[in-house]
Copies of this chain bind each other. A is one copy, B any other.
Amino acid sequence: MQGALAVLRHVHAHPGVTRAELTRALGLSSGSAAEITARLKVLRLVEETEAPATGGRGRPSPVLTAHPDGPVICAVDIGHESWRVATVELGGRLVGDVSGRHADRAAGAVLDAVRQPIPQADRRLRAVSVAVAGSVQGTRIVQAATLGWRDVDLAVLRPDPGVPLLVGNDASLAGLAEARRGAGFDTKVVLHLTVEVGLGGILVVDGRPMTGATGAGGEFGHLPFGDRERQCPCGARGCWDLEVDGRAMARDLGLPEPRDPRTEADRILRSADAAHRAAVTRVATTLGRGIGGLVNALDPDLVTLSGLARSFLAEVPEALHAGYTDGLMSFRRAAPPPLRPSALGDQGPVIGAAEVAFDALLTEEGLAAWE
């Protein structure tokens, strides 16, 4: 079981490896590798497909991928304005993907819409895993300011009581995906930050997300980096959240609080107006300075950026880097962790949601449950 688990985890993390590569990576003998893969094929967990002609010499090594009848996860992403339901197989490939925009943001309406595409009686389904734009504890959404939700239990998304339900913050899960399969691939300590409306993220150490005691870790937007007098909808004051998004840019420009801060942010970002450019620069600098502080505290190898933060990196990299450097302790300035754009885009949350579900599956117990 030990060896089988190691193989399965390696295939999951590196879909499309050859058996020879796997044997070397795990330090197995070729005999053990043969026996273990044979067992996993019988269990309908992995499939070996004929090797593509590499052009190199020697006997070709078969490629290991997810079994076509293997376990799948239903990954759900509930964002500020849209939702997505995907089926994900071992190795992180999306084999089905449905999405839509919220017609009505009320919790009931959104959950009804999202529930439709969730398969109801699929023996292959091992878990429903939800990424949601809000603060999460266990399987409850305790606070989702932009959706206007408070204390919503997602248990209704469970197709039957036997299927486990997992819930996490969308920015945190996107960060996990980014660390494992995106810009942070093969990096030990990755700090991911997403700015949409407010800011979220996660620290991923050796592939493990630091989600804290209750699952509400990674709420970096509620560190008091901002103006101590400014009240945040979260209940605290001076949150960084309020200083780095469309609300902050509108405030900087003397505009009223926008109804849809994310769209407003994009509008200002695309504008050629000098005042707008200045506001973008100032907010990007503020974001950068906070990133510097977080890097001081958490010491990552790499920072990955999504959403509006990714846009700042693309549009005003000097401002972002100036703030970043300014916020760093001087000894870190010689070789600061690079800021990199997210590689997974809007697929991050669903891929991350599937990851945590597969983490539970790829254990002694999870495998035992799969026979």
Contact = CB atoms under 8 A, between A and B. Distances in A.
Interface of A: 135, 137, 142-143, 188-189, 203, 205, 208, 210-220, 222-225, 234-237, 289-290, 292-294, 296-301, 326-333, 337
B297 A222 contact: yes
List of 6 A-B pairs having minimum Cβ-Cβ separation, nearest first: A212-B299, A235-B330, A217-B299, A222-B296, A213-B301, A142-B331
Contact of A211 (B217, B219, B299): B299
A146 to B, nearest CB: 15
A252 to B, nearest CB: 16
Number of copies: 2
Contacts of A210: 203, 205, 210, 298
A329 B142 CA distance: 11
Contacts of A332: 216
Nearest to A223: B293
Among A205, A208, A236, A330, find the residue whose CB has the most chain B CB atoms closer than 10 A.
Answer: A236
Among A212, A234, A294, A330, find the residue whose CB has the most chain B CB atoms closer than 10 A.
Answer: A212
A189 B218 CA distance: 13
Nearest to A187: B213
Among A215, A296, A332, find the residue whose CB has the most chain B CB atoms closer than 10 A.
Answer: A296
A356 to B, nearest CB: 15
Contacts of A236: 292-293, 296, 326-330
A333 to B, nearest CB: 7
Given A289-B224, A326-B236, A299 B219 contact: yes
